[in-house]
Amino acid sequence: MITSIDIKSVDLLADGAAFGAVGAYERVIGVAKGKVDPAHPGNKGIALIDKAPRNAAGKVEYSTDIFILRPKDPARGNGRILYEVNNRGRKMLFGNIADGPQGVNDPKTVADLGNGFPLRRGYTIVWSGWDPGAPRANMGLALTAPVATDDGKPIVQTVREEWVSGTRVGVLEAFKLSHEVASLEQNRARLTVRERADDEPRELPLNQWSFVDARTIKLRDGTKPQPGFLYEFHYEATNPRVQGLGFAATRDVVSWLRHSPEAPNATGRPITHALAIGFSQAGRYLRNHVSEGFNRDEQGRRVFDGILSHIAGVGRVFFNTPFAQPARTNTQHEDHGFPENEFPFSTATLDDPLTGKAGSLFRGDGSDPLLIETNTSTEYWQKGASLLTTDPLGTKDIALPANSRAYMVAGTQHGGRAGATTDPGPNINPRNPHNPMPAIRALLVALDEWVVAGKEPPPSRVPTLAAGTLVEPGSTGFPAVPGASIVRVTNRVSPPGDWVKPGREDRLYRTLVSKVDADGNEAAGIRLPDIAVPLATYTGWNEYKPPYPRAEIADRDGSCLPFAVDKAAREASGDPRPSIAERYRSGADYVAKVKAVVETLVAERLLLAEDAERYLDRAAKEPRVAP
């Protein structure tokens, strides 16, 4: 439960700029303090809670950063919380759902807020910290959690870490440890390197690396890590935080904002409903939040009425475990063998022949939210997203329960958003700039209507076995595009094993992907105008180029393979896909085709009218189509 919220500051957002009929917003920044009863059934599942220090009343204490945007005139807001789970301490809402700039963790100006979509709809937007390891720099959000001990003595455990230079986080100069090392004696630790996850690791001699401090190691003599290679470190870690308190902190903060008589001091008005949204790691966090029972507060009340989890695949977070590392994300090349994918994957109740378990992501105890799960193409290749709607062996489609929906936004990549670059970076193919957010905005509105008015959202839209659109990764029908590197395997998904000493994956779930049309664009899912009226082929996969390991799936990037301008250019390159000039007789013809698509999507509630207008405006200005 929350014991106090200390509001540090209240100030005008964007100098009092108005966001539609809702008007101006205020920024509320503070700290929430809480405590949990380790004996309460809702807290017993928190790892290391039994080893956490307790106050005089026998409770375990924590504190968390909070950041709220609320309508300046409370009566003009909609009275609902939109809670964004932060991603490694970062606020990603406006950079995604509002097509705003990336990396803005302290939104202050109109430019920081993109198109202002969630503000124009009147939400009270809330963030709070959940990860004790998240950086607090630049208004990052984190949790202050206690260190667990064995009756006052330090807990020590051998753990494994992995780093890759030049892919997710740029070129690494040093390797940061997730936990404090118990000893700086090098001979008690082991650093290895290998090119691919299935390769035999090569141990580096002690004279080739050294400790910088208790949380950092580096290669010696200025040697830089080989791009894309896997550096793995085994060491004795100590002083683990009670990380799972992050689940309780989210639960308690939102419950307090919904039910405490003092909550209007923070929210500006009483709250009627709470929705949550999370992108990538944060979407996986929300799947965990539901499955581990934290969508029920200590008084038995539902926390989030509705949840939109975006680009989580079937993953969870490596979090509620001693010495966990929540920043990890398992892909075909990186972080393989770390816990993320664990049955049950789907909201449907199923049997798992690999583990002998049975169950659902939902708990069925009245705490389950209305849930929308959205994924890009990448999550089908890297994150096992097909297992949301098939049995674990991928032999049959399964029906989701009435309070759950799943959607694939065709031809989009993980993290796709407005303004994304086609620069290939470490990849062979140009990156995929196709923005899935118009569909996600429409589905957030649908979720809100579902929660508030009981109006059901559109039916799930994903590739299926029954329609012949869910297939093996080598059987998509992808055309022979000249010069393109084509991926034909998916990341392996298997039951969790020993993450410190992972063994060979002998038992695998069957993960499938979408069939493509003659252009190579996905034939199923939500086909936005870039796919339905295409000027290029857009995929959720890409491949690394030298000096990175070849034939490895690029971390979470897709590909963009443009069509030839005209027939002559197409024939000169040997491209089997019709050229732009062969597809569209004129600019008016192109606009008419886009118009037909957006009108259908709006009617199906998969696109908002404002985004339909944006598509039509862009189509009218499209320079690649002849006038």
CB 522 within 8 A of CB 516: yes
Percent of the chain predicted with pLDDT > 90: 98
Confidence of residue 312 (pLDDT cuts 50, 70, 90): very high
Say how far apart CA 483 and CA 488 lie, in whole Å. Answer: 16
Average the pLDDT over 115-142 and give the result: 97
Asked whether the predicted pLDDT for residue 358 surpasses 90, the reply is yes
CA–chain centroid gap for 607, Å, is 21
pLDDT 10s digits, 326-355: 999 999 999 999 999 999 999 999 999 999
Residues 6+ apart with CB under 8 A from 247: 46, 130, 288, 289, 292, 294, 319, 320
What is the pLDDT, as a whole number, of residue 505?
A: 86
pLDDT 10s digits, 409-446: 999 999 999 999 999 999 999 999 999 999 999 999 99
The token pair that represents 277 in the structure block: 């949204």
Question: b/e map of 522-550 (b: 16 or more CB within 10 Å)?
Answer: bbbbbbbbbbbbbbbbbbbbbbbbeebbe
Asked whether the predicted pLDDT for residue 287 surpasses 90, the reply is yes
Beta-sheet pairing, 143-144 with 124-128 = unpaired
The token pair that represents 16 in the structure block: 């009092």
Give the H/E segment covering residue 616.
Answer: helix 609-620
Asked whether the predicted pLDDT for residue 379 surpasses 90, the reply is yes
Q: Which residues are registered as beta bridge partners of 385?
A: none
Comparing 375 with 169, the larger pLDDT belongs to: 375
The token pair that represents 487 in the structure block: 């991926």
What is the pLDDT, as a whole number, of residue 64?
A: 98
- Inter-CA distances, 616 with 159, 435, 580, 591, 627, Å: 53, 15, 18, 7, 15
DSSP string across 412-434? --TT--TT-----TTBSSPP---
Closest to 479 in 3D by CA, of 532, 520, 534, 522? 520
What is the pLDDT, as a whole number, of residue 266?
A: 98
CB 491 within 8 A of CB 555: no
Say how far apart CA 356 and CA 123 lie, in whole Å. Answer: 43
The token pair that represents 47 in the structure block: 């790892």
Closest to 142 in 3D by CA, of 81, 63, 78? 63
CB 601 within 8 A of CB 607: yes
What is the pLDDT, as a whole number, of residue 170?
A: 86
Name all domains of the chain by residue range, CATH numbers in brackets. 2-145+243-453 (3.40.50.1820), 156-238 (no CATH)
Q: What is the pTM of this model?
A: 0.97
Say how far apart CA 341 and CA 386 lie, in whole Å. Answer: 13
CB 274 within 8 A of CB 217: no
What is the pLDDT, as a whole number, of residue 302?
A: 98
Q: Which residue has the tokens 């936005």?
A: 528
CB 606 within 8 A of CB 443: yes
What is the pLDDT, as a whole number, of residue 504?
A: 85
What is the pLDDT, as a whole number, of residue 392?
A: 98
The token pair that represents 400 in the structure block: 């989701």
Say how far apart CA 506 and CA 512 lie, in whole Å. Answer: 18
Asked whether the predicted pLDDT for residue 169 surpasses 90, the reply is no
What is the pLDDT, as a whole number, of residue 355?
A: 97
Asked whether the predicted pLDDT for residue 627 surpasses 90, the reply is no
102 in helix, strand or coil?
Answer: coil
pLDDT 10s digits, 462-494: 999 999 999 999 999 999 999 999 999 999 999
Rounded mean pLDDT of the chain?
97
Confidence of residue 591 (pLDDT cuts 50, 70, 90): very high
Confidence of residue 27 (pLDDT cuts 50, 70, 90): very high
pLDDT 10s digits, 181-205: 999 999 999 999 999 999 999 999 9
Asked whether the predicted pLDDT for residue 584 surpasses 90, the reply is yes
What is the pLDDT, as a whole number, of residue 415?
A: 92
Comparing 503 with 258, the larger pLDDT belongs to: 258
Say how far apart CA 380 and CA 332 lie, in whole Å. Answer: 12
Say how far apart CA 433 and CA 441 lie, in whole Å. Answer: 18
